[in-house]
Structure 1
């Protein structure tokens, strides 16, 4: 008869908290392998409250950000143990891993931006609400994007949404990067206060200075997590449905299409589920959680990390029905599911590529903008063929956002842009008149930088990328 952990020997070692042997056996093995219940080795160790095994797994670089089959992260499970040392350790490694990946991903992101064709495009943001009084004060914004090589400029006037009020301001964000991704620079120009903030960092040097010790969480952060309900949210990408709208009568019905800024686009309604999973429903005042269509409540009570005495054989047998039993401390879970509807206008004529040109820029902007972060979550889904020239998605509490891509310029390089000043044909097939302003990229008298230098003492901003003026 085979041993209980024959197919999952490392999970069996974690189950028995044999951390010394686990340390020996992990060399050359996949530290993030999953058991039949959807748990990684680290998930299993934390759920059972075995801090010794968890330390060994973290030393072997186990991924703290992995989710189990129910969508809970390792940090969620650590908080549910009620062990401050466990929470502190997992939180520290999570922050370290996330920061390392963010820094490590910058060169790849800059390389993607550098390799794509140059362009200019405007993203028109319009916010709507089903609440009459709110709809009257919904703002709009036109986000202008210039891309040249590994350099990027983004102009915005809508900074964010907080405490049910809109934050406005005229900002220019200029991202500069070396073609090889060795360094990066962010210039933020505050046109209202006439300040320029410049942040430049050598990515390799930042990686060297990044240590696990520098990510030690504060005691109050650990206490806050232990005394607050755990909230997890997920977008159900498996059940997303792209609908086909038709127009006409009987056998003459055709797929519905509309003109968007001169491009023919097929209208694609989208239905998907958004699931916030809080333990305490009083915390459901986040932006996406106002009304829900269905609610399922599940309550479990017990006092240990294996309250129903599940055996190792039962746990690792994929054919054994646990009948709702599970390991780990019991949870009182409220699952609320809301069905959202969105609409896409997909055009196969649009001259830009979503994945190659637009997605890397939205990914970069999502690091500093909440509504760009929401847009990023949506555009990473698998879309029908074409470019989404217009997108309408649920965004905040009672708000929808309608994003329209318009005024696109197909000019590829600065040289080509300069040559087209006379009105030559761009790659988009439309005639654009571009005038390159070489004297100054941003010209504001009296602008000072945060590091104490005047704008004149800083590197010529005109070298960042050309500014094109467009005449249709």
Structure 2
């Protein structure tokens, strides 16, 4: 209730691949070994983190405390949980501790209600007949902010890898109904450079970068057919994977 409502997602609509360069005086295409595979490195461009915020429910005090918290993280100083939650280190925390211990002097700290918004003048017909996404607000006027920040990512493709991208897509096709794996499948389906992606450095949050690396891989053709037999007592449980 005291924080921004945030929706952030990584946009890959305008993604591009270009050969990464190495060297100081004489620049050349970057190629190096990743584990046991020789790989060509590519720079991924057109990767954007798009975020949308709403904050009409915040008071001026909330905005000041949130700004102070972000400034503290940026400068590396950090802040105590009490300050983050809009409390001080005084009697309120002691009172809260007493409440946890069942003390008789404990009192519940409640957040003050915001000033009610003005009564709406929108009729039901006006609301229903409005174009999609252009409905007039029935409560507070939305206070929105949209930002877009570009990120850089690195991709290493190896033609020595014993597995093809098509084989990887077949695996991802099975687990694609899970939301996060579906995003990964969409990324792999793009027009990747030649080879197999043996290393990917890609940001998933403003301060977090995911790294996937294949250091060693081998295919075993000597697999018993018995591993693929369905046991006679097997029964399908429809509630095991509710996301499917």
Q: Which has the higher contact order (CA 8 A, sep 6+)?
A: 2
Larger helix share, 1 or 2: 1
Q: What is the TM-score with the length of structure 1 in the denominator?
A: 0.28
- Could you tell me the TM-score, scaled by structure 2's length? 0.49
